[in-house]
Amino acid sequence: MLAGPLAFLRNPPRSLAFLLSCFLLLFSGGGASTCILVAILDAKIEFTIPKGSQGERLDLAFVAATKGISRSRAQNWIRQGRVEVDGEVVERPGYHVRVEQRVSLRAEVVQEVLEEGTAPTLELLYEDADLLVVDKPAGLLTHANRAGGRSVSSLLEESHGPLPEGSEPLRGGIVHRLDRDTSGALVIARTAAALESLLTAFRDRRVQKTYEGIVAGAPRFDSDWIETPLGRSPKHPDRQSVLTEGKGREALTYWEVIERFEGFAHLRLVPKTGRTHQLRVHLSSVGLPILADSIYRARGGHPARLPESAPEFNRHALHASELRFPHPTTGAEVGFEAPRPRDMVRALEWLRSECPAR
The per-residue pLDDT string of the chain (358 residues; one tens digit each, 9 = 90 and over) reads 334 443 343 344 433 433 333 333 333 333 333 443 434 344 568 889 988 888 888 988 888 887 666 676 777 788 778 889 998 888 888 899 999 999 988 654 344 343 444 456 789 999 999 999 999 999 999 987 655 568 899 899 888 888 998 766 667 899 999 999 999 999 999 999 999 999 999 999 999 999 999 999 999 999 999 999 999 888 888 889 999 877 889 999 999 999 999 999 999 999 999 999 999 999 999 999 999 998 898 776 778 889 888 988 889 999 999 999 999 999 999 999 999 999 999 999 999 999 998 8
Q: Are 294 and 270 in contact (CB under 8 A)?
A: no
Measured torsion, CA atoms of residues 306, 310, 314, 317, in degrees rounded to the nearest 10:
-60
Catalytic residue selected from 135, 179, 293, 343: 179
pLDDT at site 167: 67
pLDDT in tens, 222-260: 999 999 999 988 888 888 999 987 788 999 999 999 999
Class in CATH terms, 3-115: alpha beta
Beta bridge mates, 90 = none
10 Å CB burial of residue 28 (0-12, 13-18, 19+) is: exposed
CATH 3.10.290.10 domain position(s) in the chain: 3-115
CATH 3.30.2350.10 domain position(s) in the chain: 208-354
Give CA 139 to chain center in angstroms: 8
Concerning whether 179 is annotated as a catalytic residue, the answer is: yes
10 Å CB burial of residue 141 (0-12, 13-18, 19+) is: buried
Phi/psi for 325 (5° steps) reads -160, 160
Q: Tell me, which fold does domain 208-354 have in CATH?
A: Pseudouridine synthase (3.30.2350)
